Structure 1
Amino acid sequence: MEAHEIQEFAEQMKESGEGESLKVISLAISILAVLVAMVTVIGHRTHTDAMLFQTRAADQWNEYQAQKIRMSSFTLAVDQLDLQSPLSTAAAAKRNEYEHHIEKWTADLAVEQKRAEVLDESVEHAESRATRYDLGEALLQIAVVLCSVTLFTRNHAYFMFGLGVAAIGIVVSCTALFVH
């Protein structure tokens, strides 16, 4: 396109009044692009949180399992000592020590299990939020494309439809804040 053709096109746009309309559409697309970027970053951060919670939950369940194995080993040792008829003083002292550990670990296991379950709930919560952000992001990206089609076709129905999809995307993204 030559310089004089560009000038003629600009004058035609001014005369038809479409120049202002296209500016509004372009501004709306820019705002939607910023919203897409924001929702994308928040969604990625939420996915990261879910992964961190998952790692912590796995570590907590591993700690629970390790304590349970130690407790089972001591329980087995106590059972074996009980099978011996007369216990020596040293064996009786060791048996009492093992029973003390078993009692302590029984209480600790309940606490470890509760911590792991809380972390599991945090994983589910973060994943639910991330899913909403992902859907909101997809809808906002679709809205940007629909609004962009308006620039090529000059059909404002695409723009209005794009704004509707964007509104739904924003609402879906905001519902992530209310997930329990």
Structure 2
Amino acid sequence: MSEEYEVHGPHDHAVEHAGHHDEDPFASRMAVMTAILATIGALCAYQSGNSENLALYYKNEAAIKKTEASNQWNYYQAKGEKENLAELGAALSLGNADAHAKFVADVDKYKQQKEPIRAKAEAIEKEVVDNDAKSEALLHGHHRWAQATTLIQVAIALCAITLLTRKNWLRNLSFGIAAAGVITAVVAFFSA
């Protein structure tokens, strides 16, 4: 009959001992703190990227609208040139009543056509200014989110070093930097 013998090594005793006793509370707290900071850091990084993307979107919209406004002003200028040519034609055709009447009618027509074009160009220019302002505000928010993310990442690195060195002053420093990161994130959130 074969009997199996169970041989216990030192590692078995260590595992059994760890299972019966409380874990190291310092290590547990630092692990929880690191997990919380990693979550906050991920949220800040997402917001940073989102703000940057929106800033680029509005900057692109401003560029498109600027081109549109330029096109409108060119169209306005073309109508103005036609008006000037019609005025010249009217001045040169004083001897021919029919031609003079046609040129005077053209002058009035071009004057009337220019006004809506000018109004549209000015409205588009206002959109350019609005989009540029939105882009600048979002870019400022992006910088705040990026600063918060950086502070949180530094705090996570300090937590890892704290776990290795078990220095209370280093733990407190990591908590302080983490608090600065969270405060920066809150400022970024409310300034958006």
Q: Contact (CA 8 Å) 2:44, 2:145: kept in 1 or not?
A: yes
In the alignment, structure 1 residue 101 sits paired with structure 2 residue 113? yes
- Runs of 4+ in structure 1 deviating by more than 6 angstroms, as ranges, are none
* Structure 1 gaps, min length 5: none
* Structure 2 gaps, min length 5: 1-8, 94-98
Distance 1:172 1:164 in 2: 12
Q: TM-score w.r.t. structure 2 length? A: 0.82
Aligned length in residues:
176
Q: Contact (CA 8 Å) 2:151, 2:177: kept in 1 or not?
A: yes
Distance 2:127 2:151 in 1: 37
Q: Alignment partner for residue 155 of structure 1, among 164, 167, 171?
A: 167
CA RMSD of aligned residues (A): 2.3
Q: Alignment partner for residue 64 of structure 2, among 59, 70, 80?
A: 59
Q: Larger deviation: 56-65 or 79-88?
A: 79-88
Query: Aligned letter for 1:117?
Result: V
Query: Aligned letter for 1:127?
Result: L
Match in the other structure for 1:142: 154
Query: Aligned letter for 1:147?
Result: C
Q: Deviations over 1:71-103 (max 9, x none)?
A: 011111211221222244443333322211111
Q: Percent same amino acid among aligned pairs? A: 19
In the alignment, structure 1 residue 82 sits paired with structure 2 residue 94? no
Q: Contact (CA 8 Å) 2:59, 2:131: kept in 1 or not?
A: yes
Q: TM-score w.r.t. structure 1 length? A: 0.87
Question: Structure 1 residues 121, 35: CA separation in 2 closer, same or farther (over 3 Å shift)?
Answer: same
Q: Deviations over 1:33-69 (max 9, x none)?
A: 0111010011111111001111111111111111001
In the alignment, structure 1 residue 48 sits paired with structure 2 residue 53? yes
Match in the other structure for 2:122: 110
Match in the other structure for 1:27: 32
Q: Which has more radius of gyration?
A: 2
Offset at residue 10 of structure 1 (A): 8.6
Q: Deviations over 1:91-148 (max 9, x none)?
A: 3333322211111112222211111111110001100000000000000000000011
